[in-house]
Amino acid sequence: MFQGFNLALKNALWDGQDLAYGELLHAGQRKQVKATIDAFAGHDGVLDASKMQASWFPQIDAQIFISHSHADATFALGLAGWLKTHFDLDSFIDSCAWGYADDLLALVDKKFCRNPGEGTYSYSKRNRSTSHVHMMLSTALVTMMDRCECLFFLNTPSSITPADVIGETETGTTTSPWIYSEIALSGLIRRKNVCQHRRVREEARAVADSLPLRYDVSVRHLESLDLRDLDAWRRGAAVSDAHPLDLLYRMKRSPG
């Protein structure tokens, strides 16, 4: 990852056509992820953890990682369509992955966690299976984040509850363990320069809502974005031959 952005949203800049385009673009990603779930059990009955981890996002090539709340899926899809329409930028929406975590967990539990001869599950085995699945998913998400050139975090009331005023403190709380994990890791993940990202991308082309838990979240390490910034970015890209992400970095005075 080169740069992360804290995109504060109250309403959308994109329209229904952008949303439909985003849904179309990411239907393929969701289909890829879902298609791998049934192939995770090895021939000897042992789950192949490496295969699981690698198969969450098979051959998905994206420049922007979109982190969002489950409640903001429509915003995320609309943004993805808007980015593709105006900048020809491909995005990865994190819910394409963790949306199927429960499906994988059900597969694992059915095969390995049932009590023999009963319709119940082993509590201890389910604890272990949940830990394994979530750890593998978290690792796969971090790998995808590392591959993307930048991250857009959709900062809405659904994703973060401000501790005071989010614009001033840049801190708050979230009830989503996935948002907590992604934002925390985005501040720790290695930074790669733009040339590294684009060279690798060109080479590649050539070849838990029910738990009352809260996590403290800080977005200080993310550059602030809002709808006015996005609109200015779109207008600037319309009259420039520069790479659209370079325009965004310069507009937000990010070092290149």
Q: What is the pLDDT of residue 215?
A: 67
For 198, the domain range is 3-226
Would 235 be classed as within a structural domain?
Answer: no
Kindly state whether residue 232 falls inside one of the protein's structural domains: no
Please write the tens of the pLDDT for every residue from 133-152: 787 778 778 888 888 999 99
Residue 34 has pLDDT above 80, yes or no: no
Query: Is position 88 within any domain?
Result: yes
CA torsion through residues 188, 194, 200, 201, sign: positive
Q: How confident is the model at residue 82 (pLDDT cuts 50, 70, 90)?
A: very high
| Average of per-residue pLDDT across 169-178 | 76
- Tell me whether residue 240 is in a domain: no
pLDDT at 245 over 80: yes
How confident is the prediction for the chain on average, in pLDDT? 79
pLDDT digits (tens, 9 = 90+) for 100-140: 677 777 777 887 788 888 888 998 888 888 887 787 778 77
Instruction: State the DSSP H helix or E strand holding residue 93, giving kind and residue range, or none if neither.
Output: strand 91-93
Please report whether residue 234 resides in a domain: no
Q: What is the distance, to the nearest Å, from the Cα of residue 80 to the centroid of all Cα atoms in its chain? A: 12
Residue 238 belongs to a domain: no
From CA 205, how far away is CA 218, in angstroms rounded? 35
* Model confidence at 165: pLDDT above 60: no
pLDDT at position 210 over 50: no
- For residue 157, give the DSSP letter: T
Task: Identify the H or E element spanning 53.
Answer: helix 49-55
Query: Within 10 Å of residue 33's Cβ, how many Cβ atoms?
Result: 22
Number of domains in the chain: 1
Indicate whether 49 belongs to any domain: yes
Whole-angstrom distance, CA of residue 238 vs CA of residue 168:
32
Q: Which residue has the higher pLDDT, 146 or 197?
A: 146
Looking at residue 79, its pLDDT comes to 94
Residue 235: the pLDDT is 95
Which has the higher per-residue pLDDT, 54 or 153? 153
Tokens 């998400």, located at residue: 141
Q: Residues 4-20: pLDDT tens digits?
A: 999 987 777 788 899 99
Banded pLDDT at 243 (limits 50, 70, 90): very high
> What's the DSSP call for residue 115?
P
Q: Distance (Å, rounded) from C-alpha 105 to C-alpha 134?
A: 9
Query: Would you say residue 239 lies in a domain?
Result: no
Is the model more confident about 222 or about 195?
Answer: 222
User: Tens digit of pLDDT for each residue in 51-74?
Assistant: 665 555 655 788 999 999 888 888
